[in-house]
Structure 1
Amino acid sequence: MRWDLRPYPAPAGSGQRGKEENHEEATMKALIYHGPGRRSWEEVPEPRLTAPTDAVVRVDAVTICGTDLHILKGDVPAVTPGRILGHEAVGTVTATGDAVTTVKEGDRVLVSCVSACGRCRYCRESMYGQCLGGGGWILGHLIDGTQAEYVRVPFADTSTYLLPEGVEDEAALMLADILPTAYEVGVLNGRVRPGDTVVVVGAGPIGLAAIATAQLFTPSHIVAVDLAQSRLEAAKQFGADVVVGAGDDASAAVAELTGGLGADVAIEAVGVPETFEQCTRLIRAGGHVANVGVHGESVPLRLQDLWIRNVTITTGLVDTYSTPALLDMITARRLDPGKFVTHRFPLDEMSAAYDTFSAPEATGALKVVLTR
């Protein structure tokens, strides 16, 4: 069998529905990447439908991700100057291509950080992050993203989620990236099981989301490791039983909890060599290291020490296959992602929001939300 990985062809007479028809010269404000360390909130053309599977979404709420900070550091060279950043949003559909059938103008939707063509080998295996048909992590990466007044969303049928009444924008926004990322790449890849001792290294938003979702599997202990006292306090609020800060011995703390064995699962949620190596030291023989952090430089892998201890190391880009289940948990009040939000800004204060989010030690920021 041969896989047809070409984009959907435009049907004869393909048109578009919604506001797109009458705004040829319209402009909007967006956060533009101008190279490492350089960004600006400036005026650019509004997005237009370019394929019959597209939708244009008015951004009603958007947030900033740690990955955006990695981009600004130059850690993601595929992001080129001139790109609109951002890959998380909640908004209202304003236009759809003729092939879009599951959302329509006026619908309130979650825009996922991962786009899915729905047709390729990986999409058929629910590995949407590895999409071969033009999707994967493309928003704010390979195409213009969500930190703007409007965003073009490719493959709208399989890359947006209708939001039920009663789910607030802020809560839904946490499902665009951090919750499915922590849950899939950290908790599920790490194979957290009832009774486990789980160590989360890094108590930023992703680490806190790992703590929150690890609790779904009733581990016996959740240990949070971070240098910032404010984030350790947040970790306690999200469910950590033990916190380890600057000057503390994480290995000794874990050994005391486990009778000297080590953790069953260590979740790396920072993305620097030191924290990855720390995770490999904290786990027991037969344990799992689940790497969630975005790494921008080489990390030593001391395989000569790890192979004989039956250690499993997993990596991953989020696939967002868990988003519908997480949305159901929010609707049923089993998860409360709104508590991730510590700072709120109007959309046109994007630069101030970046300044706040990028200095969590001084501001105490976890997630910032910008709204119209």
Structure 2
Amino acid sequence: MSTWITTPIDGWLLRGAVALENTQHGVLPHRLPAWARAQSTDGQLAMAEAQPSGVRLVFRTSATAIELDVLPTKVLYAGAPTSPHGVYDLLVDGGLMAQAHATGGNVLTIDMAAGTTAFEPGLPTTVAFTALPPGEKEIEIWLPHRERTELVALRTDALIEPPAGAGKPVWLHHGSSISHGSNADSPTQIWPALAAQQGGVELINLGFGGGALLDPFTARTMRDLEADLISVKLGINVVNADLMRQRAFGPAVHGFLDTIREGHPTTPLLVISSIYCPIHENTPGPCVPEFVDGKVQFKATGDPDEPGKLTLSWIRDELAELTASRAKDDANLYYLDGRELYGEQEFAVRPLPDQLHPDNATHHAMAARFADLAFGDQGAFGGR
């Protein structure tokens, strides 16, 4: 029988988390700090930022067995099929070696039609990885990107220590549910994680499902975080939430970028517009879900003839013009049309399964495109 060594879970073990909250059971990683969370009453954002997309435990060890006690919160949608369990990806020296999932835990049921939620508390459970290769190695455990995860205890059959060597450049990214991970199969399969691996950088992922809304507290969070490279992917959420009108959008983007620049005046900053999404190219929000044969499909319901409403086509033109104007005085500001990551041709081959979010294969394709366009020699991040 193994002799287990328990290591307290604190900041040195975690990458990709902005803050840790002490809970009844352990610690909860957050991707927004407490002061920012206090400035929003939006339940969707609260749920999204507490889902640890891009958050991972990283350490060196000669252990051949690892146990992680967790308390997951499963999200169910009334009228929809049960979602699969969140996946834990274990990497050894950078390569995916094993996957696991946590059963049990809390259950949050959301009724989108009625606008109500129901919460059923559960108990912690254990995620185990065994038969790891002997010898010293670097371990990464990527937490489920769409499953709130309280970390209760970490046990190994050998001592652990911080990774050796100098850290990689830090890439700070903000975006919508697509950056959060949407329909990716596991946390290392989301396009920002794949792109970070290909670009040789450390990811801090502030992709929030439904939450890329130009919130000032998100910009201030980005301003205050250490980063060597920064990107913001904007457009889809302000359209599908029907959040603002044309008069407000440009000044809001300027203010968002101004705030980031207060803390990062010369850091390479890449503004990315939305990928191709037919339902919102020329039709504004709001966007509403419908269940068709037990599967969710999204539909744009806005009136294209209503003055001032936002569409993706309009926003791309606005972002291109806005960044070009600012770049005259900001040599480190860049723009990337999101359709270069996924455009009409890609949609014809791999359509968006629910009309809004890409599938796992498309996450891989987008990551490869982004790595080439952003991290390539001629890209915004190529000269780091």
TM-score interval w.r.t. the shorter chain? under 0.3
Task: Specify which structure has the higher proportion of strand.
Answer: 2
Q: What TM-score do you get using the length of structure 1 for normalisation?
A: 0.26
